[in-house]
């Protein structure tokens, strides 16, 4: 009898925790937009990200991965974001013939990837 009651309590507790976690996941979303620009004179990649969040210390862009011609050249981790629209810069060499791929990863769920050709 005690084992059966304990099992029911455990199922109720796990179910309650699951239901309570749903609102946070429902508010999470991929980064909405990314604008990418490469400045040849300074050899700097500029990435402007739009990712609205009411809790930027919990729901934020946690990582940005930059690939050049398929190889990772930059990987940056973040613990919060400053506002709904923010800009990160990355020093890197690139030519007009390169293909740059930038991926922004949300701390809760989802990501956005943009391919960019500096020469186009």
For 37-94, what is each residue's pLDDT tens digit?
999 999 999 999 999 988 888 899 999 999 999 999 999 999 999 899 999 999 999 9
Per-residue tokens: 32: 């909405």
For residue 70, CA distances in Å to 67, 100, 115 come to 6, 8, 11
Return d(Cα 32, Cα 63) in angstroms, integer: 15
pLDDT digits (tens, 9 = 90+) for 25-53: 445 567 889 999 999 999 999 999 999 98
Which tokens sit at 113? 């990837």
- CA-to-CA distance for 81 and 71, rounded, in angstroms? 26
DSSP-assigned beta bridge partners for residue 89: 46
**Entry pTM:** 0.76
């Amino acid at each position: 009898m005690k084992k059966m009651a304990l099992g029911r309590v455990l199922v109720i507790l796990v179910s309650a925790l699951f239901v309570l976690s749903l609102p946070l996941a429902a508010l999470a979303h991929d980064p909405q937009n990314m604008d990418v620009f490469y400045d040849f004179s300074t050899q700097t990649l500029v990435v402007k990200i739009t990712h609205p969040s009411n809790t930027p210390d919990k729901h934020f862009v946690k990582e940005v991965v930059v690939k050049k011609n398929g190889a990772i050249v930059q990987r940056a981790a973040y613990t919060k974001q400053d506002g709904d629209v923010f800009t990160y810069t990355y020093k890197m060499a690139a030519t007009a013939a390169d293909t740059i791929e930038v991926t922004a990863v949300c701390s809760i769920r989802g990501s956005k990837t943009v391919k960019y050709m500096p020469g186009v």
